[in-house]
Amino acid sequence: MMGGMAGLDGMDQPQQRVCVAARSAAFAEDELALRAIDRFGDPTVEEVRLPSRPESAASARRLTELIILRHWQLSPQLAEYAVLLVSELVGNAVRHTGARTFGLRLLRRRGWIRLEVRDPSRGLPCLMPVREMDISGRGLFLVDRLSDRWGVDLLPRGKTTWFEMRVTDR
């Protein structure tokens, strides 16, 4: 009865277009991530070096999402949190170190993933108290809240800031 009502014919078509558009957007993101691996390398094999520019955060996010979702086949929520946190660490490396490049590494062992951002500064990041209306300074707060553990390893020339998250191995 409702099929004959004006405006309801072909209601499936807009939903199909949305699905096709979503698949196309996902394919485009995968393509950009694969290009990032071609350009910078695979951060699961060895540390990749990215230019210390704000736009490199997008490359780091793409690499992280591709590895977690496609390569390691972990949950979308874990990928979402990891992408957010790696973006925060990259933002700190770009904004506060004055370096020309930074390193990105993704590691996995049974039950855990670890993401590392290495830069040449020995200045330690500082977890600051965050108030509701603050518009900056939330990066390490988010890392502290969303990861299972995090830290900084001082190196002879610089530091590695890292976080780890528990995963359920299949």
Which range among 15-29, 56-70, 84-98 shows the weakest confidence by mean pLDDT?
15-29
- Between CA 52 and CA 104 the distance in angstroms is 11
Structure confidence at residue 153 (pLDDT) = 97
Per residue in 98-153, pLDDT (tens digit) is 889 999 999 999 999 999 999 999 998 888 787 776 666 678 989 999 999 999 99
Give whole-number Cα distances, 8 to 17, 56, 162, in Å.
16, 46, 53
Q: Cα torsion for 106, 38, 32, 91, to the nearest 10°?
A: 50
| Joined tokens for residue 72 | 């390691």
Mean pLDDT, residues 4-31: 50
3-state secondary structure of 2: helix
Structure confidence at residue 21 (pLDDT) = 44
**Residue-range domains of the chain with CATH:** 12-166 (3.30.565.10)
pTM of model > 0.85: no
Nearest to 116 by CA among 102, 127, 136: 102
Mean pLDDT, residues 8-32: 52
Give whole-number Cα distances, 101 to 84, 119, 120, 138, 151, in Å.
20, 7, 8, 23, 20
Per residue in 40-52, pLDDT (tens digit) is 889 999 999 999 9
Structure confidence at residue 127 (pLDDT) = 83
